[in-house]
Amino acid sequence: CDYGNVTILVTDTNDAPRFVIHDPSCAVYENVPVNTTIMNASNYDKQCIITAYDEDVSDTLTWSITRNSDYMFGIKRATGAIYMVKSPNYEFLDTYTIEVTITDTAGATDSIEVSITVLNVNEQVTLSYQTLYVDENSASGTVVGSPTTYDVDADSTFTYR
């Protein structure tokens, strides 16, 4: 029986990038200015960054939004930080779902859905008066009119003093 050495060369192939968390959720207060970075839904002090990794450490990763409801959101291509392209309005829509895609240098991708909740804030009430007239010497407590009040927040109760 003859014996010999065999050399096997293993060629590295590209590994696709992968997202670190599954079912990520983020939050943003309504009426924030354009370009505001949105928050992590479980920790409002932190930015909502959709973290990914690639076993090919030399690959450069690029983030993009591939499904964007009403084009409300943008993403920093080098970091994955999500920001507002338009100011959100809780009374119009309080939850969005976008799709974020990560691409490596070789073009391999992974995608994930991100849920974004719009948090309600108490907005300023609009109060207006028409010109009101009352006869001189009218009795105390005479009703001369009432203000017109409008609040975009549902279920508002108004108290006048």
How much of the chain, in percent, has pLDDT values that exceed 70? 93
Q: Do residues 104 and 63 lie in contact, with contact meaning Cβ atoms separated by under 8 Å?
A: no
- Between 152 and 68, the more confident residue is 68
Q: What is the pLDDT of residues 88-139, one digit of tens each?
A: 999 999 999 999 999 999 999 999 999 999 999 887 777 776 777 888 888 8
**Tokens matching residue 40:** 């992590």
pTM of the model: 0.75
DSSP at 81? B
Q: What is the pLDDT at residue 10?
A: 87
Q: What is the pLDDT at residue 89?
A: 93
- Taking residues 75-94, what's their average pLDDT? 92
Q: What is the pLDDT of residues 7-26, one digit of tens each?
A: 999 888 899 999 988 778 88
**pLDDT value at 45 more than 70:** no
How much of the chain, in percent, has pLDDT values that exceed 90? 45
The amino acid that residue 63 corresponds to is W
Closest CA to 122 of 59, 39, 30, 55: 30
- Between 89 and 144, the more confident residue is 89
3-class DSSP state of 70 = helix
* Whole-number Å distance between alpha carbons of 83 and 96: 13
